[in-house]
Amino acid sequence: MKRRAPRRSRRPARLRGPGLLRDLVYDQAKEWILTGEFVSGEFLGEEALAERLGVSRTPVREALGSLQRDGLVEIVPHRGAFIRWPSPRDVEERFDIRIAIETLALRRAFPKLDEDVLRRLLDRVREQQERIESASYQEIEQLSIEVHMVVLEAAGNRRLIDLTHQLREQVYIASTLYRNPGGSVSVPRVRQVAEDHEAFLLALLDRDPERAVRELEAHLVRTRDMVIAAVQDGLRRTSTLERREPVR
């Protein structure tokens, strides 16, 4: 696997605030992984990360161990830490759980959904569709989270919300679904997700719960399949790099 140096455009982050230093390092590194600042397959060097964060290597090493336990990082003996690619099975299993809990939440939340909130979300989805080629994948991911969270929050079950966040994090949607290997936004995938969100919100506004459940489930199935395709492509590219450029 090729060791890629951190991009020059990445700005340093000096950690400040209460809490153990390793926890602050963990939180910042996790945020960078989930938002696509670091991407699947990328080498995550202790020294470079410590320099960027303005800390010693010890809290970085401890944070990387925690990220490995979370399934976000793979530590390879004598080589270092890499951002882990989720496997296709990881993706399939997590989306199976999401489909079950989000459709359950939708049935419970339906009578409580605020029409004004739904209309504002629909307006934002349509606005995003009009400028889809200029939107960042972080911005796209944030709106996607809001569309799903409006239902989960109305259902009023904190555990469902926490579990959904964990399931998204474990396949790091922003960097696998919306981002092409070269760093650009995957316009076809973004367009499909936006169309799905529009259809789902319209079903909610039409007060048709069964249609809304069908639209949500179909959206999650399509998203699952797109994430799996992106992961498989990434794994093939990583495998090609390993064959061509062995670590010395």
**Structural element, H or E, at residue 17:** none
Whole-number pLDDT of residue 216: 98
Lowest-confidence range among 103-107, 179-183, 194-198? 179-183
Q: In what order do the strands lie in the sheet with 73-76?
A: 43-44, 80-83, 73-76
- Segment 163-179 shows an average pLDDT of 84
Residue 248 has pLDDT above 50, yes or no: no
Q: What is the CA radius of gyration of the chain?
A: 19
Share of the chain above pLDDT 70, in %: 87
Q: Give, to the nearest 10 degrees, the angle between helix 88-109 and helix 137-155.
A: 50
- Do the beta carbons of residue 140 and residue 185 sit within 8 Å? yes
Joined together, the tokens standing for residue 169 give: 């994090």
CA distance 79 to 62: 17
**Which residues are CB-neighbours of 78 under 8 A, at least 6 positions away?**
none
Between 207 and 133, the more confident residue is 207
Residue 215 has pLDDT above 50, yes or no: yes
CA distance 235 to 67: 20
CA distance 87 to 137: 21
Task: Give 117-139 pLDDT, tens digit per residue.
Answer: 999 999 999 999 999 888 887 78
Query: Within 10 A of 240 (CB to CB), how many other CB atoms are there?
Result: 11
Whole-number pLDDT of residue 24: 92
Residue appearing with tokens 């555990």 = 159
DSSP 43: E
Amino acid 49 reads L
Residue 9 has pLDDT above 70, yes or no: no
Whole-number pLDDT of residue 235: 79
Whole-number pLDDT of residue 175: 74
CA-based end-to-end distance of the chain = 10
Whole-number pLDDT of residue 160: 92
**pLDDT confidence tier of residue 3, bands split at 50, 70 and 90:** very low
Between 242 and 140, the more confident residue is 140
Residue 106 has pLDDT above 60, yes or no: yes
Lowest-confidence range among 48-52, 77-81, 136-140, 141-145? 136-140
- Segment 52-75 shows an average pLDDT of 92
Between 12 and 234, the more confident residue is 234
CA distance 242 to 248: 11
Model pTM score:
0.80
Whole-number pLDDT of residue 18: 45
- Segment 92-103 shows an average pLDDT of 96
Residue 189 Ramachandran class (φ > 0 left, ψ -120 to 50 alpha, else beta): alpha
Winning range, highest mean pLDDT, from 57-66, 74-83, 238-247: 57-66
> In 3-state terms, what secondary structure has residue 169?
helix
- Do the beta carbons of residue 34 and residue 84 sit within 8 Å? no
- Segment 56-63 shows an average pLDDT of 94
- Do the beta carbons of residue 3 and residue 42 sit within 8 Å? no
Domains in the chain: ranges and CATH = 1-84 (1.10.10.10), 88-235 (1.20.120.530)
Share of the chain above pLDDT 90, in %: 59
Residue 22 has pLDDT above 50, yes or no: yes
